[in-house]
Chains A and B, each alone.
Chain A
Amino acid sequence: MDAFTTLTGVAAPLPLANVDTDKIIPARFLKTIKRSGLGVHLFDTLRYDANGAERPEFVLNQEPYRHAEILIAHENFGCGSSREHAPWALLDFGIRCVIAPDFADIFHTNTFKNGILPIKLSREICDQLMDDAKLGGNARITVDLAEQVIVRPNGEKIPFEIDPFRKHLLLNGLDDIGQTLQHAPAIDSYEAKLRDEKAWMPAIHVD
Chain B
Amino acid sequence: MARTLFDKVWDAHVVERLQDGTCVLYIDRHLVHEVTSPQAFEGLRMAGRKLRRPDAHIAVVDHNIPTSDRSLGIAEEESRIQVETLETNVAAFGVPYFGLNDARQGIVHIIGPEQGLSLPGMTIVCGDSHTSTHGAMGSLAFGIGTSEVEHVMATQTLLQKPAKNMLVDVRGALPPGCTGKDLVLAIIGQIGTAGGTGHVIEYAGEAIRALDMAGRMTVCNMSIEAGARAGMIAPDETTFEYVRGKPFAPKGEALEQAIAYWRTLPSDAGAVYDKVVVVDATKIAPMVTWGTNPEAVLPITAVVPNPADEADEAKRVQLQRMVDYMALTPGQKLTDLKIDVVFIGSCTNGRIEDIRAAATVAKGRKVAAGVRALVVPGSGIVKQQAEVEGLDRILLDAGFEWREPGCSMCLGMNPDKLTPGQRSASTSNRNFEGRQGPGGRTHLVSPAMAAAAAVTGHLADVREIV
List residues of A whose CB falls within 8 A of some B CB. 16-18, 20, 22-23, 26-28, 30-35, 45, 50, 74-76, 79-84, 87, 102, 104-106, 109-110, 113-114, 163-165, 176-177, 179-181, 183-184, 186-187, 190-191, 194, 198-206
Contacts and interface: CB of A to CB of B under 8 A. Distances in A.
A82 B293 contact: no
Contacts of B405: none
B129 A27 contact: no
B412 A187 contact: no
B159 A176 contact: yes
Given A180-B24, A187-B26, 9 more contacts: A22-B430, A31-B35, A84-B147, A180-B151, A180-B154, A180-B157, A183-B15, A203-B56, A204-B55
15 contacts: A22-B432, A22-B435, A30-B36, A33-B82, A35-B146, A45-B433, A102-B194, A104-B227, A106-B145, A109-B144, A113-B145, A177-B151, A177-B155, A183-B16, A194-B26
Contacts, number: 200
Interface in B282-300: 293
Interface residues of B, number: 84
B16 A186 contact: yes
Nearest to B127: A82
Contacts of B301: none
A196 to B, nearest CB: 12
B227 A83 contact: no
B106 to A, nearest CB: 14
B96 interface: yes
A75 B79 CA distance: 34
Contact of B439 (A50, A84, A179): A50
B42 A33 contact: yes
A104 B57 CA distance: 26
A181 B420 contact: no
Nearest to A76: B194
Nearest to A1: B147
Contacts of B47: 177
Contact of A106 (B129, B254, B257): B129
B413 interface: yes
B221 interface: no
Interface string B13-50: 00110101010101010000001101100100001010
A-B interface, 10 closest residue pairs, ranked by CB to CB distance from nearest: A113-B147, A84-B145, A110-B145, A31-B78, A203-B55, A33-B38, A82-B143, A200-B258, A206-B96, A84-B146
Given A27-B411, A33-B82, A187-B15, A206 B97 contact: yes
A83 B159 CA distance: 18
B197 A102 contact: yes
A194 B350 CA distance: 33
B179 interface: no
A200 B250 contact: yes
A191 to B, nearest CB: 8
Given A106-B143, A206-B96, A20 B155 contact: no
B35 to A, nearest CB: 5
B20 A75 contact: no
A106 B314 CA distance: 25
B264 interface: no
Given A33-B82, A83-B36, A23 B433 contact: yes
B432 A23 contact: yes
Contact of B413 (A31, A198, A199, A205): A31
Contact of B20 (A20, A163, A183): A163
B166 to A, nearest CB: 13
Contact of B57 (A50, A176, A204): A204
A114 B193 contact: no
B204 interface: no
Contacts of B42: 33-34
A81 B36 CA distance: 11
B426 interface: no
A30 B227 CA distance: 22
Nearest to B435: A22
B220 to A, nearest CB: 15
Contact of A82 (B52, B98, B144, B255): B144
A125 B438 CA distance: 34
B308 interface: no
A187 B158 CA distance: 11
Interface in B249-297: 249-250, 254-255, 257-258, 261, 293
Contacts of A113: 145, 147-148
Contacts of A199: 254, 257
Nearest to A31: B78
B229 interface: yes
B348 interface: no
B318 interface: yes
Q: Among B16, B145, B193, B249, which residue has the most Cβ atoms of chain A within 10 A?
A: B145
A180 B16 CA distance: 10
A18 B193 contact: yes
Contacts of B63: 27, 30
B198 interface: yes
Contacts of B420: 50
Contact of B254 (A18, A26, A164, A200): A200
B15 A22 contact: no
A184 B24 CA distance: 10
B150 interface: yes
B191 interface: no
B85 interface: yes
B154 A83 contact: no
A31 B404 CA distance: 20
Contacts of B227: 76, 79, 104-105
Interface string B102-128: 000000000000001101001000011
A26 B418 CA distance: 14
A84 B145 CA distance: 5
